[in-house]
Structure 1
């Protein structure tokens, strides 16, 4: 089955207008502006021309024009737009009407905070002024330890405006795990929250924030932002301010003004009877700590600093599940161009859209969602558990806020399917999906229970480029179980182990054969580039190997079968774990699953499937379903029931670490427990695996 784009509506999409503009400008000889394959082929055949056209079409504001688009066409080490100067933060603030909502924060309890574009511009300018007053220079690092909150958006924009480098971990990380990432960067300023909401509770993180500050020895200043209504007990005199209000620095008076909370289904708190914010910030004796309120009252920065195209914008960290988290450094210009294409062309995101992608500050999708501001859209943040108080929590946010572009995970769609939901979301025109493989059954459920006219667009890319390699577009059909196409500007190929093209329908390594501007500038603390080369270019020199096992379909779509380093190689046959997950994804009594293939010291091979039951589960019945829906060779050796499974903090399965542990590696050397959402579940899984393997 498939979803087909409306042939009338596609002519009003931005991607078709882009293709028409290319033809009108004489830049590309396209014969059919609605033919995505033709546009993609041109984009990868002439990468310099394509990305230059993107910059012109979206009217990138150059403080100094570049000499050319692509000076060095190689990987690694491509040189993009030399001589060009711009600022990413400026582009985030230039669109959107003053009275339009820029950011809507929805709390798990229903509270809502709204920041307009006018307020965002004022607040970002003020916080940028505060950072400059604290001595933050271009290239200095600003670290954030925050929940999903308005303050995080403002602080990031401010950091970009002054040319500093942003890095963030969520408040749910333990302080030592957050420090393992942040301490690498030697940040000058830490912006720390006090609490976050999850599972019906407000989690007080004041002690963790103070602990983190002590674990960053080079830190010079901390700005404390009260989040989730948790007041810092170290504050002195208190004054009443509504919980969740957004304070706006008035650039004319230098005083902060309270912006009333606009709530969804809750009483208006503008009376100021609830919550408290200190009049004076908590200060250490050396004056190295201040409040968010003070930052908002600072003398604002009027103009964003123009920086080089490849000036570092942020550091995103790898999950840390297979070793010390690596810091991936991206640049102002590269991220800007990628995020003009990914949401602007592939998702057709515009100024009249409301854009909600469920994410956390620990995941690159937080950064990608903020980039909705580049297009003048309203972005929606959610602070809470996606299935609390019920499995329809996110669908209710979508419906209540007239979301038009909604992003989620296959896991949430599967949970909705198991719960028998039939969401009513008339405002939505696109549901984007990423984070793991989307099984064909999810497409079927979506068509039958949500909408058969809304596009369900699966995509895959990663933290590595903060963008996409394969995705859908308004002009592509969606076939069940497939990702529609390679993304614009992404020269995706499927190679066998010898570096030859794998035939359609045959699994192989996903490789990228042409540079993209959002590829990492470098890894942090990797002066000779060895870590970067070993990560992406060790197998095929000069060609990016992403680490995904993938196959191309005869239609030109892609099926991702899992990580290639977690590939099941059973009796010489390569299998993808995604095929097994898809086979059992719609079983109502299976809540979660994890499959690994373990090479044994005696030359044997063990393939266990760990299952979290959502009811009565008979292992033999699970095996029968897998055999019927895939093949006998896909059937696991053992189905082991466990009460819960561990994941990364972005929700990904821990296939590689679990495999290595079951091969005998020391768990403490294989995985950073702080990077796991439930370390106790990891211990239980390992114990269950060892017990299960001891059985005849």
Structure 2
């Protein structure tokens, strides 16, 4: 067993073999040979990558083998934010660069749902189905710039549909079928789609969920919709007013060749959405070239993915990590897809999948690790997981206890990459580096090409103290625009209002002297106690380490004559009760591990906490409700996974007001 692990403890150092085989090492040698650039270490390489932006991204283009009908000589025509102009002469296609990796040596995808069995999809079969579907999309009148929307789970057909759409220069957008009709319409209605691709339902945690009524609501609520293609997952009964996916794919009269529309660098690739916690979700438009370069760089250099790898991330089509999973195909690796609950029939499910598929990169979330910890499972006691050489975690800060648990219960020799980025850039801008050590509770550092800094309130970079997370130089994968945003006003307000000309992401971050960083949660949900700014994630890490606490939420309120009133809300394990002893244990833990300022003014036991559909904890809406704002102005219930959870906070707000 590993000793008790503290924040900052060294957990992993790359061996000479890891360094020698790393794609980053290959890139450094390529730069020396092809560009006469010699960098002593990763930090020197990073500094060059964020100061010589044009030269760096041209190098990524060449080293990663981007396929394009035209590149042009200029990489960065306008170096400004917002409005940077990248590769203005380029003509390319994201999907063409995926199929440039075709091989007979290993599959393109491995897929499993809750009922099994594991299904292998060859590159040839993915190509065949994409080509046939592309032919049918053309016959339905889908052309460049048209929006194709998908109400699909994480199944291979979703990737085929995405590839066929994007190959034409049409624009892809997806939502998971666990989203209700209002949440889907709030997203899709804004972009006026021409085609909907859907399933009749899905299975989760052993139960079927019929979505045929919702499909009818979507068809009625999307007036621009001309056609619907249906994929039967629950049964083979045809859906009214739809085209059958199996019939379309079966009626190919001959083998077809894929064509790839050659589009400008900034041509829309897909539309993702903000969480929509306080209003309509913002439709974030990403471009072909920006996501192509960024995904090549991030997946090949930072995740260190090679064609021989099997890359997995537990995700749904409603989260940007699904788009990133599609992007893993750009490396020529095999994408591993799972559709269902990660705990069905037990929390061992994904670890079993890892062993059976030979998974070499396992993407997960802190919530999944916490569930495994609380359940007391030990994956390496039941499974051979030695083939895992990388684990990625994102969605929330990864606590120290999770770092320790993974190294204790998987094995000691993989690289644990805690990542952070977002839907806004469809990537991680701080994350992993196979050339540097890993310390408990820390992200290894800023990614290449990402000038991520912590800024104080005066707009000055700081090290060793918490500041606003900013990106101080443009990146190609920054959004092209928001859909239907005249004058780019919402875009400007979202990222550039606080620090004009500099991207403010909305998180608190602290860098240390070795370049590592810790993210402390959303800056707009920050707690300010007696002049000390505190992020919520460090409180959650301590509280949820207390035996019996499953989840927690904390907000800071200014009520009555008090400078600060900080209530903590906890979900407890079955059979646990919030008594004085447990309250005292929570308070003592916070006082001991953090400081007396971190001790809440009150602790409440709740049955559930509010989350967005994409799994984000809703701190800001809860704070607004408790400060007396009407629910309809504080939260978008249609964007919530469990809107009924708000009722407790509405009732508490009424009590606090009296």
Deviations 1:243-280 (A, max 9, x none): xxxxxxxxxxxxxxxxxxxxxxxxxxxxxxxxxxxxxx
Q: 2:488 aligns with which of 519, 529, 543?
A: 529
**Displacement after TM superposition at 1:685 (Å):** 4.3
Deviations 1:548-607 (A, max 9, x none): 111111221111011000000122211111111121233331111111112225454211
Deviations 1:130-150 (A, max 9, x none): 111111110010010111111
**Map of 2:412 onto structure 1:** 452
Deviations 1:392-427 (A, max 9, x none): 222121122110000001111111111112112222
Equivalent residues in 2 for 1:232-631, closer than 5 Å: 232=237, 235=238, 282=239, 284=241, 289-296=242-249, 297-298=251-252, 300-424=256-380, 425-502=385-462, 504-600=463-559, 602=561, 604-614=563-573, 615-616=575-576, 617=578, 618-631=582-595
Local SS of the residue matching 1:648 = coil
Q: Distance in 1 between matches of 2:557 and 2:65?
A: 52
Q: Distance in 1 between matches of 2:538 and 2:476?
A: 33
1:17 aligns with 2:26: yes
**Map of 2:35 onto structure 1:** 26
Moved more, 50-59 or 383-392: 383-392
Equivalent residues in 2 for 1:643-654, closer than 5 Å: 643-654=607-618
Deviations 1:306-328 (A, max 9, x none): 11111100000011112110000
CA contact (8 A) 2:28 2:38 kept: no
Q: Tell me which protein shows more helix as a share of its residues.
A: 2
TM-score by length of 2: 0.94
CA contact (8 A) 1:439 1:585 kept: no
Q: 2:229 aligns with which of 220, 223, 226?
A: 223
Deviations 1:288-337 (A, max 9, x none): x3111233235745321111111100000011112110000000000000
**Map of 1:109 onto structure 2:** 115
**Displacement after TM superposition at 1:674 (Å):** 2.3
**Map of 2:164 onto structure 1:** 158
Q: Distance in 1 between matches of 2:406 and 2:94?
A: 36
1:670 aligns with 2:634: yes
Change (3 A) 1:508 1:353: same
**Map of 1:129 onto structure 2:** 135
1:49 aligns with 2:55: yes
Deviations 1:433-454 (A, max 9, x none): 0000111111122222222211
**Displacement after TM superposition at 1:546 (Å):** 0.5
Deviations 1:105-125 (A, max 9, x none): 211223333321100001011
Deviations 1:337-386 (A, max 9, x none): 00001111001111111111001111000000111111111111111112
CA contact (8 A) 2:546 2:585 kept: no
CA contact (8 A) 1:130 1:298 kept: no
**Displacement after TM superposition at 1:199 (Å):** 1.5
Local SS of the residue matching 2:108 = strand
**Map of 2:597 onto structure 1:** 633
RMSD across aligned C-alpha pairs, in angstroms?
1.6
CA contact (8 A) 1:76 1:542 kept: yes
CA contact (8 A) 2:626 2:649 kept: no
Deviations 1:42-78 (A, max 9, x none): 1111111111100000111111222311110110000
1:140 aligns with 2:146: yes
Q: Distance in 2 between matches of 1:527 and 1:487?
A: 32
CA contact (8 A) 1:418 1:587 kept: no
Q: Distance in 2 between matches of 1:207 and 1:104?
A: 31
**Displacement after TM superposition at 1:222 (Å):** 0.7
TM-score by length of 1: 0.89
**Map of 1:36 onto structure 2:** 42
**Map of 2:216 onto structure 1:** 210
Q: Distance in 2 between matches of 1:523 and 1:603?
A: 40
Q: Distance in 2 between matches of 1:5 and 1:215?
A: 54
Q: Distance in 2 between matches of 1:576 and 1:77?
A: 31
**Map of 1:88 onto structure 2:** 94
Deviations 1:198-229 (A, max 9, x none): 121121111111211111011111111112x3
**Displacement after TM superposition at 1:483 (Å):** 0.5
Local SS of the residue matching 1:122 = helix
Q: Distance in 2 between matches of 1:283 and 1:450?
A: 48
For structure 1, list consecutive stretches of 5 or more residues without a partner in the other structure: 236-281
Change (3 A) 1:136 1:19: same
Q: Distance in 1 between matches of 2:496 and 2:526?
A: 19
CA contact (8 A) 1:67 1:82 kept: no
CA contact (8 A) 2:625 2:649 kept: no
Moved more, 3-12 or 135-144: 3-12
**Map of 1:265 onto structure 2:** none
**Displacement after TM superposition at 1:690 (Å):** 5.2
